[in-house]
Structure 1
Amino acid sequence: MDLIYAEATPPGRGGVSIVRISGTGARNAAERLAGRLPQSRHAYLRQIADGDEILDRALILWFESGQSFTGEEVVEIHLHGAPVIVRRLGQLLRAQGIRLAEAGEFTRRAFLNGKMDLSEVEGLGDLLAAETESQRRIALRTSSGELARKAESWRSLLVRAGALTESSIDFADEEVPDDVPEEVFVLLDRFRRELDDQIRGYAAAERIRNGFEVAIIGPPNAGKSSLLNRIGRREVALVSDVAGTTRDIIELRVDLRGLAVTFLDTAGLRESQDRIESLGIDRARGRALAADLRVHLSPEGNVDDQLWQPGDLAVTSKADLQASGSELKVSSLTGEGLDEFLEKVFAALSQRAAGASLVSHERQLNALLAARAAADVQEDAPPELIAEALRQAAISLDSLLGRIGADDYLDVIFTSFCIGK
Structure 2
Amino acid sequence: MLPSIHRGIWRAADHILRTSRGTPPCRFLSTFNGVPVGIADAETIFALSSGHGRCGVAVVRASGPASATALRCMTGLTRKLPPPRTALLRSITDPQSKEVLDRGLVFWFPGSVPGMRPAEAGEFTRRAFQAGKLDLTEVEGLGDLIHAETEAQRRQALRQMSGELGRLYQDWTHKLKRCLAHVEAFIDFSEDELIEDGVLNQVDKSVCDLQAEMERHLKDERRGERLRSGVQVVIAGATNAGKSSLLNTLCQRPAAIVSPIAGTTRDIVETALDIGGFPVLLSDTAGLRESLDLVEREGVRRARERVEQADLTLVVVDCTDLPSDAQQAAAFLQDHLRRVLPNQEQPETVFPADRLLLVLNKTDMLPEERRLKLDRELRRVSGLPPVCLISCHTNEGLQDFLTVLHGSVKTLCGDPLSGAPTLTQARHRAHLQQCFAALAQYQRYRDIDLALAAEGVRLALTSLGRITGRVGAEEILDIIFKDFCIGK
TM-score if structure 1 supplies the norm length?
Answer: 0.83
Whole-Å Cα distance in 2 between the matches of residues 254 and 285 of structure 1?
Answer: 22
Partner of 2:307: 288
287, 291, 313: which one pairs with 2:357?
Answer: 313
Partner of 1:19: 60
Whole-Å Cα distance in 2 between the matches of residues 145 and 231 of structure 1?
Answer: 36
When residues 398 and 121 of structure 1 are mapped into structure 2, their CA distance, relative to the original with a 3 A threshold, is same
Whole-Å Cα distance in 1 between the matches of residues 74 and 421 of structure 2?
Answer: 48
1:45 aligned counterpart, secondary structure: strand
Q: CA deviation at 1:345?
A: 2.0
Whole-Å Cα distance in 1 between the matches of residues 361 and 459 of structure 2?
Answer: 57
Partner of 1:394: 461
Deviation readout 1:40-99 (Å, 9 max, x if unpaired) = 211111112222321111211121125xxxxx48xxxxxxxxxxxxxxxxxxxxxxx632
Q: CA RMSD in A?
A: 2.3
Whole-Å Cα distance in 2 between the matches of residues 381 and 197 of structure 1?
Answer: 28
Whole-Å Cα distance in 2 between the matches of residues 135 and 234 of structure 1?
Answer: 24
Q: CA deviation at 1:375?
A: 1.2
When residues 43 and 210 of structure 1 are mapped into structure 2, their CA distance, relative to the original with a 3 A threshold, is same
Partner of 1:125: 143
Whole-Å Cα distance in 1 between the matches of residues 185 and 426 of structure 2?
Answer: 36
Q: Aligned residues: percent identity?
A: 42
Partner of 2:484: none
CA contact (8 A) 1:317 1:329 kept: yes
Q: CA deviation at 1:356?
A: 7.7
TM-score if structure 2 supplies the norm length?
Answer: 0.72
Partner of 1:332: 392
When residues 54 and 241 of structure 1 are mapped into structure 2, their CA distance, relative to the original with a 3 A threshold, is same
Q: CA deviation at 1:201?
A: 2.0
Whole-Å Cα distance in 2 between the matches of residues 273 and 373 of structure 1?
Answer: 49
Whole-Å Cα distance in 2 between the matches of residues 26 and 386 of structure 1?
Answer: 51
Q: CA deviation at 1:338?
A: 1.3
Q: CA deviation at 1:297?
A: 0.4
Q: CA deviation at 1:211?
A: 0.6
When residues 374 and 243 of structure 1 are mapped into structure 2, their CA distance, relative to the original with a 3 A threshold, is same
250, 271, 275: which one pairs with 1:231?
Answer: 250
Q: Which has the higher helix share?
A: 2
Partner of 1:157: 175
- Please list every run of 5 or more consecutive structure 2 residues that lacks an aligned counterpart in the other structure: 1-41, 323-332, 342-350, 379-386, 473-488
Structure 2 residue 76 is the aligned partner of structure 1 residue 58: no
Q: CA deviation at 1:178?
A: 4.4
Partner of 1:361: 425
Structure 2 residue 206 is the aligned partner of structure 1 residue 187: yes
- Count of equivalent residues: 377
Structure 2 residue 124 is the aligned partner of structure 1 residue 106: yes
CA contact (8 A) 2:236 2:340 kept: no
Structure 2 residue 410 is the aligned partner of structure 1 residue 350: yes
Moved more, 345-354 or 276-285: 345-354
Q: CA deviation at 1:295?
A: 0.8
Say which one has the larger Rg: 2
Moved more, 45-54 or 295-304: 295-304
Whole-Å Cα distance in 2 between the matches of residues 272 and 297 of structure 1?
Answer: 20
Whole-Å Cα distance in 2 between the matches of residues 52 and 26 of structure 1?
Answer: 19
Whole-Å Cα distance in 2 between the matches of residues 142 and 284 of structure 1?
Answer: 35
Whole-Å Cα distance in 2 between the matches of residues 106 and 63 of structure 1?
Answer: 14
TM alignment of 1:194-273, pairs within 5 A: 194-201=213-220, 203-273=222-292
1:171 aligned counterpart, secondary structure: helix
Deviation readout 1:151-198 (Å, 9 max, x if unpaired) = 221122123323332343312363854432321111111111121122
Q: Which amino acid aligns with 1:47?
A: S
Deviation readout 1:131-170 (Å, 9 max, x if unpaired) = 1222122222222212221122112212332333234331
